[in-house]
Chain A
Amino acid sequence: MVDDDEPATPEELAAAAALARALDGGASAETAFDSGSQGGVDAQDLAAVGRLRAVAGREAPLGELRARALARAAVGEALGRRARSRRRHLVAASLAVAVAALLALRIIVLRPEPPSVLPDRLASRSAGLLVPGPFPSSQTEAQRLDAITADRLVAYRELRVRAVAGRAR
Chain B
Amino acid sequence: MDVDAETAILENERRAIERARAGDPRALEPVLARHAEALYSSVILPRVGDRAQAEDLLKDTFVTAIEKIASFSWQGRSMYFWLRRIAANKVVDLHRQRGRSRRMVVALGGEAESAPPPAGVDDTLIAEEDRRRARARIAAAMVALPERYATAIRLRLVEERPREACAEAMGVTVGNFDVILFRAVRSFRKSYGPPSDEAPARGLEDG
Give residues in A with beta carbon < 8 Å to B: 1-5, 8, 12-13, 15-17, 19-20, 23-24, 28-30, 33, 41, 43-56, 58-59, 61-64, 66-68, 70-75, 77-79, 81
CA distance A5 to B67 in the complex (A): 53
Q: Hey, which bits of chain B sit against chain A, CB under 8 A?
A: 25-26, 28-30, 32-34, 36-37, 40-41, 45-53, 55, 58-59, 62-63, 66-67, 131, 134-135, 138, 148, 153, 156-158, 160, 163, 172, 175-176, 178-183, 185-186, 188-189, 192, 195, 207
| A155 and B55 alpha carbons, distance in the complex (Å) | 98
Query: Considering the complex of A and B, which 10 residue pairs feature the smallest CB-CB distances, nearest first?
Result: A50-B49, A74-B62, A47-B49, A67-B36, A51-B49, A16-B182, A16-B178, A71-B32, A78-B66, A71-B33
Chain A residues with CB below 8 A from B176, complex form: 1-3
- A46–B37 Cα gap in the complex (Å)? 22
Determine the main DSSP class of B at the interface with A: helix
- How many angstroms from the CA of A35 to the CA of B148 in the assembled complex? 30
- Of B28, B29, B52, the most chain A CB neighbours within 10 A belong to B29
B29 and A72 form a contact (CB under 8 A):
yes
Q: Helix, strand, loop or mixed for chain A's interface?
A: helix
Q: Report chain A residues within 8 Å CB of B185.
A: 19, 45, 48-49
The answer to whether B49 and A8 touch across the interface, beta carbons within 8 angstroms, is no
A20-B178, A44-B189 as given contacts; A71 in contact with B29, CB under 8 Å: yes
Cβ-defined contact, B48 with A28, below 8 A: no
Closest A residue by C-beta to B135? A55
When C-beta atoms are compared, the residue in chain B nearest to A45 turns out to be B185
A and B contact pairs by CB, cutoff 8 A, 8 listed: A1-B176, A5-B183, A45-B182, A48-B188, A51-B138, A62-B58, A64-B33, A74-B63
B195 to chain A, nearest CB (A): 8
Given contacts A53-B157, A54-B45, A55-B131, contact A62 B138 (CB under 8 A): no
Question: Quick check: A19 and B207 within 8 Å, CB to CB?
Answer: no
